[in-house]
Amino acid sequence: MTAEIIVVTSGKGGVGKTTTSASLATGLAMAGKKVAVIDFDVGLRNLDLIMGCERRVVYDFVNVVHGEATLKQALIKDKRYENLYVLAASQTRDKDALTQEGVEKVLEELGKEGFDYVVCDSPAGIEKGAHLAMYFADHAVVVVNPEVSSVRDSDRILGLLSSKTRRAERGDGAIKQHLLLTRYNPARVAVGEMLSVKDVEEILGINVVGVIPESENVLAASNAGVPVILDDNSHAGQAYSDTVARILGEERAMRFLDAPKKGFFQRVFGG
């Protein structure tokens, strides 16, 4: 048995990869799938914080690759969903701690353990860690902000996904690419200060799988160590739920693309 491998990547840092990885993994688990989410950012472990399990990390990904711990020992079971597990990144400074063979072995073992999905949270950049995170992927979620440097980097990542992955090398059929637009501010788009969904789709030549509105709830969720998808009241959480459903093949209309209507006082006094 093999697990479906989904890489969450972007090129540029700070666009919402870890936030997305945490919500995607949690959303898949809510849909009843057995899911592992792996932090590939060796030296800069952060997924554990966003998932809220930072104090329960004993062994990490590199320990498993080096045979210092078993996979079972290193997988941290989520407190909210029993079919969701986190594999933390190592805090070592050794950039070569991960090897392609080592990563492959861990992914194969997860498949044998009956995992349906493995979500790989890529580090920023296009170096070794990012390469390893995407190499074995079946799906890629490319996280992009409506901002020039992020869009340009995404295009570069889309190019790498279609050439520097195992599927591309073997000619096994292309990786399924999903573009996820995050930190979207409809009010700024409406006045022409921010690239629109359509602009980004046109430039990159690929349609979005979801649009996550910029939201103060994302920071609140990370403060609390709760993936934002679990915040049903927030637009960001709802947009992530829609996105996960779409990745699972469901059809859902896009929401939160328009600026909220202003009330009377706002119209009169601005703001």
Partner 1 sequence: MGILDFLKRKPEPTAAVAKERLRIIVAQERSTRGAPDYLPLLRNELLEVIKKYVHVDLEAININVERDSGHEILELSVALPEHAEAKPG
CB of 62 to partner 1, least distance (A): 30
Q: Which of 70, 99, 100, 266 binds partner 1 (CB under 8 A)?
A: 266
Which one of the spans 59-67, 110-118, 148-156, 252-260 is the region binding partner 1 (CB under 8 A)?
A: 148-156
Q: Which is nearer to partner 1, 192 or 249 (CB)?
A: 192
Q: Which of 195, 221, 226, 229 binds partner 1 (CB under 8 A)?
A: 195
203-236 per-residue burial string, b: 16 or more CB within 10 A, e: under 16:
ebebebbbbbbbbeebeebbeebbbbbbbeebbb
| Spatial separation of the C-alpha atoms in residues 205 and 96, rounded to whole Å | 35
Residue 193 touching partner 1 (CB under 8 A): yes
Footprint on residues 205-234 left by partner 1 (CB under 8 A): none
Strands 76-77 and 84-87: antiparallel
Phi, psi for residue 201 in degrees, rounded to 5: -65, -40
Q: Which of 72, 79, 156, 252 binds partner 1 (CB under 8 A)?
A: 156
The shares of helix, strand and coil residues in the chain, as percent rounded to the nearest 5, are: 45, 15, 40
Q: Which is nearer to partner 1, 10 or 26 (CB)?
A: 10
Phi, psi for residue 165 in degrees, rounded to 5: -125, 165
Residues within the interface to partner 1 (CB under 8 A): 147-148, 151-152, 155-156, 159, 163, 189, 191-196, 199, 202-204, 266-271
